[in-house]
């Protein structure tokens, strides 16, 4: 509003460019978007799954919906893979009803409030009015609302910081270190950067994947079996070699509801799920029927010695190593995202063997 906004484009790009004025972003100046149409690279845009917004979840609805749907599921029927597939789809169906999903784009502001949203609406209305009339009165009104918005944001930020510090658990040093790292950590580069290889610069997603796979091949452990598979094999061998005269031992008794409850309480939140899409948040908020069905499923694998193939499948993601340049495939390390249900079963198996 106070001075003209200038965007310069060279004459050879004039016919390929256009200028758009966008809505305000909180300052006196309107952002200007300059679009230049260039020759497109043959780069596919991968489909991005929407993320679950657990802060807006209706967990009561999730528990009731999952309990109603799981009540009719026979865990012992059909093969284990089909049964587990129905179990997963039922939980995800309840999650879609009760948990908001977002594709991102807007960053969640912890200090956001209805009063701040109202002030921003009034400020935008005052800006539009001043753009039409250009009087001292409309300018003073707009400046007044701008100052109120800035003060509201500053006050909200102060309150959020005070609340964060007050809620720190002094007995848990990890929480304080996590907050400190978030405050001091430099902005990490995106892992989708082009990679420099012996054949040249790699830009497309498929070629980037090939380059990363080639680099990961030397450190891959895909030939190793999971701990769940090893534990179940040891159980089968022990049962084949030993006969018990006085009742059943720890490897043949059913896993109890208490063991499941302890395991779910220890599951960490905000962890990426495996290919089945079941998160720890969903497992921890299952209702009584849902937990009973989950326990029956795990006990089926425990007593019969077979487990769903989905537990042995992982989604491989690449993470940039600390202090490494992002344009080298060797700078990344692979991380396997496996089923959270399978990991919960694995923890209970390990508890029985320790």
pLDDT of residue 145: 93
Separation CA 340–CA 132 (nearest Å):
57
pLDDT tens, residue by residue, 147-172: 999 999 999 889 888 888 888 887 77
Separation CA 151–CA 164 (nearest Å):
20
Contact 216, 54 (CB under 8 A): no
Cα separations in angstroms, 159 against 74, 117, 128, 164: 50, 17, 31, 9
Q: Is residue 307 part of a domain?
A: yes
Lowest-pLDDT range, 192-201, 224-233, 243-252, 253-262?
Answer: 243-252
Q: Is residue 282 part of a domain?
A: yes
Read off the DSSP letter of residue 19. Answer: E
Residue 248 above 80 pLDDT?
no
Q: Is residue 55 part of a domain?
A: no
- Distant-in-sequence, close-in-space partners of 175: CB < 8 Å, separation ≥ 6: 168, 169
Beta bridge partners of 319: 333
Contact 263, 348 (CB under 8 A): yes
The more confidently predicted of residues 167 and 185 is 167
Residue 225 above 60 pLDDT?
no
Mean pLDDT confidence for 110-131: 88
Q: Is residue 174 part of a domain?
A: no
pLDDT of residue 324: 85
> H-helix or E-strand containing 293?
helix 288-304
Highest averaged pLDDT of the listed ranges 43-47, 213-217, 243-247: 213-217
pLDDT of residue 228: 57
Separation CA 233–CA 339 (nearest Å):
20
Does this model's pTM top 0.75? My answer is no
pLDDT of residue 243: 43
Contact 227, 349 (CB under 8 A): yes
State which residues form the domain around 23: 1-39
Mean pLDDT confidence for 250-279: 88
pLDDT of residue 184: 74
pLDDT tens, residue by residue, 138-149: 999 999 999 999
pLDDT tens, residue by residue, 306-325: 889 999 999 988 888 888 88
pLDDT of residue 232: 60
Residue 256 above 80 pLDDT?
yes
Relative to beta strand 51-53, strand 32-36 is unpaired
Q: How many domains does the chain have?
A: 2
Mean pLDDT confidence for 220-233: 58
Q: Is residue 231 part of a domain?
A: yes
Lowest-pLDDT range, 150-164, 233-247, 258-272?
Answer: 233-247
Q: Is residue 195 part of a domain?
A: yes
Q: Is residue 75 part of a domain?
A: no
Mean pLDDT confidence for 71-99: 94
Read off the DSSP letter of residue 189. Answer: P
Q: Is residue 22 part of a domain?
A: yes
Mean pLDDT confidence for 180-208: 73
Report the percentage of the chain scoring pLDDT > 90.
36
- Token match 């969640």: residue? 108
pLDDT of residue 245: 40
Lowest-pLDDT range, 13-27, 123-137, 269-283, 308-322?
Answer: 13-27
């Amino acid at each position: 509003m106070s001075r003209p906004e200038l965007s310069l484009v060279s004459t050879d790009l004039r016919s390929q460019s256009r200028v758009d004025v966008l809505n305000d972003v909180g300052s006196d100046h309107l952002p200007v978007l300059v679009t230049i149409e260039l020759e497109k690279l043959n780069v596919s845009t991968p489909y991005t799954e929407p993320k679950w917004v657990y802060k807006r979840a209706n967990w009561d609805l999730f528990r009731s919906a999952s309990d109603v749907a799981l009540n009719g599921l026979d865990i012992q029927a059909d093969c284990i893979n089909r049964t587990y597939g129905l179990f997963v789809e039922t939980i995800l169906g309840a999650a879609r009803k009760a948990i908001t999903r977002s594709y991102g784009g807007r960053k969640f502001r912890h200090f956001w409030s209805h009063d701040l949203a109202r002030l921003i609406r009034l400020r935008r209305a005052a800006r539009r009015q001043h753009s039409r009339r250009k009087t001292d009165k409309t300018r003073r009104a707009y400046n007044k609302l701008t100052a109120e918005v800035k003060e509201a944001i500053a006050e909200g930020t102060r309150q959020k910081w005070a609340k964060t510090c007050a809620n720190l658990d002094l007995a848990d040093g990890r929480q304080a270190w996590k907050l400190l790292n978030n405050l001091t950590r430099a902005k990490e580069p995106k892992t989708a950067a082009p990679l420099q290889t012996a054949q040249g610069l790699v830009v497309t997603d498929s070629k980037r994947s090939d380059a990363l796979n080639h680099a990961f091949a030397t450190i891959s452990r895909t030939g190793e079996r999971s701990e769940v598979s090893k534990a179940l094999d040891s159980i089968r061998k022990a049962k084949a070699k030993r006969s018990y005269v006085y009742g059943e031992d720890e490897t043949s008794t059913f896993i109890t509801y208490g063991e499941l409850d302890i395991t779910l309480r220890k599951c960490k939140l905000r962890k990426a799920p495996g290919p089945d899409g079941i998160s720890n948040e969903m497992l921890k908020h299952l209702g009584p029927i849902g937990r009973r069905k989950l326990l029956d499923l795990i006990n089926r694998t425990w007593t019969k010695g077979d487990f769903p193939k989905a537990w042995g499948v992982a989604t491989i993601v690449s993470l940039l190593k600390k202090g490494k340049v992002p344009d080298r495939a060797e700078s990344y390390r692979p991380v396997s995202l496996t089923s959270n249900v399978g990991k919960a079963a694995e923890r209970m198996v390990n508890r029985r063997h320790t």
